[in-house]
């Protein structure tokens, strides 16, 4: 078996949404009307905290594929005013978010116990205003978003190779700017996290045999496996990984934006920023080189994401270990591409219908666990659930 990124084709049905005349799709997808339709037509479960589990109609996998978003569209009409990161959520929202995530990961691990047969992953992304507003592909849902997926390994093994130069593949060799130029200082800075449950691990040691990904991303292995997901301290450490990433990102792009070395106002680790980042010649050099490129190249400038943008995933590797990794969220890439999986989602109603019943059954099984935990209310308004 050749180790290479893979391209898989996933069928989807024809979308039933009608976009008003004169309105661009991206404008409609950001509207409260679309999010209302999402809940009514594809919703599975909603909590009092407005956490919504729904079916991914344009999904990545027909084996198992669902998402949870913090759907505040009914109470916050401004798309740019919604929570887009875990550290922006209210305390109770965060606790329920963690509980739901733990339950859905447990379901996937129990349903698919063999790592040689199925890839399991949970991926969280910030879908927010960091996207260039005049660029195609602006995220359709500006709110925090968690994605749960399962892929049969046989499907991945039989899939054709993806173009390794695909700009959406996030790895150390193509478009992960931190890791191309700043790997050493990045790892040195992240030592401040002082994690107890998560331990650093080389991405080469936990990469998937079928794709060879993730490549070069900072990674941590979870001690004691799935049982630790019930430990509140795990979720504290999981968030520390994000906080460290945010500090690095903010400091680098603040330096790029102004040319001045300064500690961001809301820094989580200000002393570490001062002692490790702002005194590092390579860190300062790369930021100022990027600054000159932004000034000189208008197309490049339009791709810069000045605010923190990330994808943080928890996946099971070939050895059955749970691995945490994080990457900057480049424009256009998907959760799966951190693991070397490019998904081509094509409209094919007959192919979708052949697999939809099995997928729906598994989604309902997982949803029933959330209901059994008394976390919220089942949504039964759609005919596909009957």
Amino acid 30: pLDDT: 65
The region of weakest confidence among 131-135, 161-165, 312-316, 321-325 is 131-135
Whether pLDDT at 176 is above 70: no
Considering only CA atoms, which of 13, 8, 10 is closest in space to residue 350? 13
pLDDT at residue 115, as a whole number: 98
pLDDT greater than 50 at residue 174: no
Residue 320, pLDDT above cutoff 70: yes
What pLDDT sits at residue 87? 85
pLDDT at 25 over 80: no
- Name the more confident of 145 and 292: 292
Query: Who has greater pLDDT, 328 or 259?
Result: 259
Per-residue pLDDT, 386: 66
Choose the most confident range, by mean pLDDT, from 38-42, 164-168, 255-259: 255-259
**Residue 133 pLDDT > 70:** no
DSSP 255-288: HHHHS-----TT-SSHHHIIIIITT-HHHHHHHH
Short-list 58, 87, 82, CA closest to 69: 82
Instruction: Tell me what pLDDT residue 194 has.
Output: 85
- Percent of the chain residues topping a pLDDT of 90: 59
Question: How sure is the predictor about 332, in pLDDT bands with cuts at 50, 70 and 90?
Answer: low
* Distance, CA of 82 to chain centre: 17
Number of residues in the chain: 386
Mean pLDDT of 196-214: 94
Whole-number pLDDT of residue 172: 46
Quick one: pLDDT at residue 127? Answer: 61
Partnered with residue 328 across adjacent β-strands are: 310
14 or 378: which leads in pLDDT: 378
For the cut 60, the answer to whether the pLDDT of residue 158 exceeds it is yes
| pLDDT of 330 strictly over 60 | yes
pLDDT of residue 138 exceeding 70, the answer is no
The percentage of residues in the chain with a pLDDT greater than 70, rounded to a whole number, is: 91
Secondary structure class of 143 (helix, strand, coil): coil
Which band of pLDDT confidence, cut at 50, 70 and 90, is reported for residue 233?
very high
Going by C-beta distance under 8 Å and a sequence separation of 6 or more, which residues neighbour residue 9?
Answer: 343, 344, 345, 346
Per-residue pLDDT tens digits for 212-230: 999 888 899 998 889 999 9
pLDDT, tens digit, 9 for 90 and up, residues 7-19: 999 999 987 777 8
pLDDT in tens, 43-95: 999 999 999 999 998 899 999 999 999 988 788 877 777 888 888 899 999 99
Over residues 109-119, mean pLDDT? 98
Cβ–Cβ contacts within 10 Å for residue 184, how many? 11
Place of tokens 């339950």: 103
In this prediction, residues 304-325 reach a mean pLDDT of 90
What is the reported pLDDT for 32? Answer: 74
| pLDDT value for 155 | 97
Q: What is the mean pLDDT of the chain?
A: 88
Bridge partners of 326? 312
Reduced to 3 states (helix: H, G, I; strand: E, B; else coil), residue 362 is helix
Distance in angstroms (rounded) separating the CA atoms of residues 317 and 207: 7
* Chain segment 87-110, per-residue pLDDT in tens: 889 999 999 999 999 999 999 999
């Amino acid at each position: 078996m050749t180790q290479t990124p893979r391209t898989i084709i996933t069928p989807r049905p024809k979308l039933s949404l009608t976009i008003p005349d004169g309105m661009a799709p991206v404008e409609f997808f950001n509207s409260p009307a679309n999010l209302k339709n999402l809940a009514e037509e594809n919703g599975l479960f909603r909590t009092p905290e407005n956490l919504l589990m729904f079916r991914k109609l344009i999904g990545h996998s027909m084996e198992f594929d669902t998402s949870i978003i913090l759907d505040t569209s009914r109470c916050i009409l401004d798309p740019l005013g919604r929570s887009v990161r875990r550290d922006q959520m209210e305390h109770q929202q965060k606790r329920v978010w963690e509980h739901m995530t733990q339950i859905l990961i447990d379901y996937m691990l129990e349903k698919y116990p063999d790592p040689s047969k199925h890839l399991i992953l949970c991926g969280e992304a910030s879908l927010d205003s960091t996207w260039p507003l005049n660029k195609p592909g602006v995220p359709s849902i500006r709110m925090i978003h968690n994605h749960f997926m399962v892929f049969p390994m046989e499907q991945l093994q039989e899939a054709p190779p993806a173009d390794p130069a695909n700009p959406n593949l996030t790895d150390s060799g193509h478009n992960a700017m931190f890791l191309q130029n700043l790997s050493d200082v990045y790892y040195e800075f992240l030592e401040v996290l002082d994690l107890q449950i998560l331990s650093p691990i080389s991405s080469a040691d936990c990469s998937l045999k079928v794709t060879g990904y993730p490549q070069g991303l900072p990674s941590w292995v979870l001690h004691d496996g799935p049982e630790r997901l019930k430990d509140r301290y795990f979720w504290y450490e999981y968030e520390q990984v994000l906080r460290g990433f945010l500090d690095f990102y903010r400091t680098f792009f603040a330096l790029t934006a102004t040319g001045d070395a300064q500690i961001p106002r809301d820094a989580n680790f200000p002393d570490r920023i001062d002692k490790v980042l702002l005194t590092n010649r390579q860190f300062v050099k790369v930021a100022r080189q990027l600054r000159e490129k932004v000034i000189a190249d208008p197309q490049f400038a339009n791709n810069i994401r000045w605010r923190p943008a990330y994808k943080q995933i928890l996946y099971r590797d070939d050895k059955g270990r749970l691995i945490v990794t994080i990457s900057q969220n480049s424009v256009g890439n998907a959760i799966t591409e951190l693991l070397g999986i490019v998904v081509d989602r094509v409209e094919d109603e007959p192919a979708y219908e052949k697999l939809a019943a099995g997928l729906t059954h598994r989604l309902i099984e997982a949803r029933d666990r959330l209901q059994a935990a008394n976390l919220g209310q089942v949504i039964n308004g759609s005919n596909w659930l009957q």
